[in-house]
Amino acid sequence: MEYIPDFLSEAVERRHPTAVALSDDLYAHPEPAGQEVRSSQQIVELLRQAGYQVEYPCPGYPTGFRAVLDNGPGPSVAILTEYDSLPGLGHACGHNVHGSMSVLAAMALADVRQSLPGRIHVFGTPAEEEWGAKVGMSAQGFFDDMAAALTIHSWSGGVSTPDMDVLSLRCCTAQFSGLSAHTVAAPWTGHNALTAARKFLDLIDARRECFPPHVYVNGVILDGGTCPNILPDKATVRLELRTDSRETLDPIDQIVRKCAQGACIAMDCQVSFTTQYEDFYDMVRVPVLEDAVCSLYDALALPRGPVLPPSVSSDVGNVSYRCPTIQPLLSICTTAHPLHTQQFREGTILPEAHTAICQGGKMIAALAYRVLTDAAFRQAAADSWRSARESKFRL
């Protein structure tokens, strides 16, 4: 079959100006995690006008939504939409651009609904930059009945990749408790919680040479006392643990806790751990979907390279454990800019980025169309996903 049917491509192009206006407006009015009120309202209104039945807000997510276009019996496909910004940096991760790609694809698919069986679900997923709404949505089963979940992430440098591999992530705080005392008059009567926290981080550093590949533990001291003449009786360390598989998070977590206990034994202190939010999972990559994305890049004459080694985390990983999921990295500007920088943010409003919105909209729409209408492709993607997921649990 043709990878991007002409009627679908034309529908995307008709809706393209609306998506560009949305992207630029999100850029001009950035809203950080959990505060995306204006952003979500705009997207919801566009989807309603296109013919979707929208649940807004989504239960448990004041700035999240679920929109459905029901064309009767058939499979279901999910389109994931991000729109949160970074505090102080605005849309330096490109959510304004790739969120608009998802909305563009959804509107175009609604315009050709007479050619589609089944259901298209569009999920507004707040707070990807912080606690990740897709984590909870996945746990609640939002994606369990989906034949595929589709999204794109903004990239730069002129070369795109067929998928975004990610690391599992656990975020927690370690609260150290000791006993205050005067640091000169009677320090021997106290127990220094700050020193315990410092030695905890030292012990983690000592363990690094024995960590397996793709294991990262990073921490900062959030609270270490108030006055230099008082031994701190409280100290707080915030940690991020990242691994290449959700299955290896717990063993690394145990090592970290042993380091904390060792520091406490030495300093006569105590420690307690608190999880900041639910774990982000690594990506279950689906070769069949990645091959389909490569074909779409070729059809659009877009330069592509291989999937890059995982170096970040995303709540899309949690979705990938529930159904076949793909998140290509689509270059939105030729100049290479790191994510989460002012340079990348400014690249999201350039003409190149506006063109990329159309390209991304076509890719998501074409993948959704193929999943809904091609039973053999749909089955191949499901089989490929099950095999990849099972391999994760054999590590």
Task: Return the percentage of the chain with pLDDT > 70, whole number.
Answer: 99
Is 1 inside any structural domain? no
Q: Whole-model pTM?
A: 0.92
Domain span at residue 328 reads 6-166+281-392
Q: Which amino acid is at 64?
A: G
pLDDT of residue 394: 58
The number of angstroms, rounded, from the C-alpha of 335 to the middle of its chain's C-alpha atoms is 23
What is the C-alpha to C-alpha distance for residues 203 and 166, in angstroms, rounded to an integer? 27
Residues 195 and 285 in one domain: no
Residue pointed to by tokens 């994931």: 80
What is the C-alpha to C-alpha distance for residues 6 and 12, in angstroms, rounded to an integer? 10
Out of 275, 300, 319, a domain closes at 275
Q: What is the pLDDT of residues 267-308, one digit of tens each?
A: 999 999 999 999 999 999 999 999 999 999 999 999 999 999
Out of 221, 246, 275, a domain closes at 275
Residues 70 and 45 in one domain: yes
Is 39 inside any structural domain? yes
Report the sign of the C-alpha dihedral through residues 281, 287, 293, 298, in that order: positive
Mean pLDDT of 207-228: 93
Out of 275, 299, 315, a domain closes at 275
Q: What is the pLDDT of residues 37-85, one digit of tens each?
A: 999 999 999 999 999 999 999 999 999 999 999 999 999 999 999 999 9
Residues 130 and 175 in one domain: no
Q: What is the CATH number of the domain that holds 154?
A: 3.40.630.10
Residues 270 and 287 in one domain: no
Residues 178 and 46 in one domain: no
pLDDT of residue 15: 98
Q: What is the CATH number of the domain that holds 189?
A: 3.30.70.360
Q: How far is residue 130 from each of residues 38, 63, 98, 144, 289, measured CA to CA in Å?
A: 18, 14, 18, 23, 27
pLDDT of residue 106: 98
What is the C-alpha to C-alpha distance for residues 319 and 153, in angstroms, rounded to an integer? 15
Q: For the chain, how many structural domains are there in total?
A: 2
Q: What is the pLDDT of residues 141-152, one digit of tens each?
A: 999 999 999 999
Is 69 inside any structural domain? yes
pLDDT of residue 213: 87
> In what helix (H) or strand (E) does residue 198 lie, and over which residues does it extend?
helix 193-207
Is 314 inside any structural domain? yes
User: 372-377, long-range: CB within 8 Å, 24+ apart, which pairs?
Assistant: 372/74, 372/75, 372/77, 372/116, 372/117, 372/118, 372/120, 372/147, 373/115, 373/116, 373/117, 374/1, 377/288, 377/292
Task: Return the percentage of the chain with pLDDT > 90, whole number.
Answer: 95
Residues 123 and 187 in one domain: no
pLDDT of residue 393: 77
CB atoms within 10 A of CB 228: 9
pLDDT of residue 123: 98
Residues 309 and 261 in one domain: no
Q: What is the pLDDT of residues 175-188, one digit of tens each?
A: 999 999 999 999 99
Q: Write down the mean pLDDT value for the chain.
A: 96
Residues 227 and 89 in one domain: no
Residue pointed to by tokens 């089963």: 141
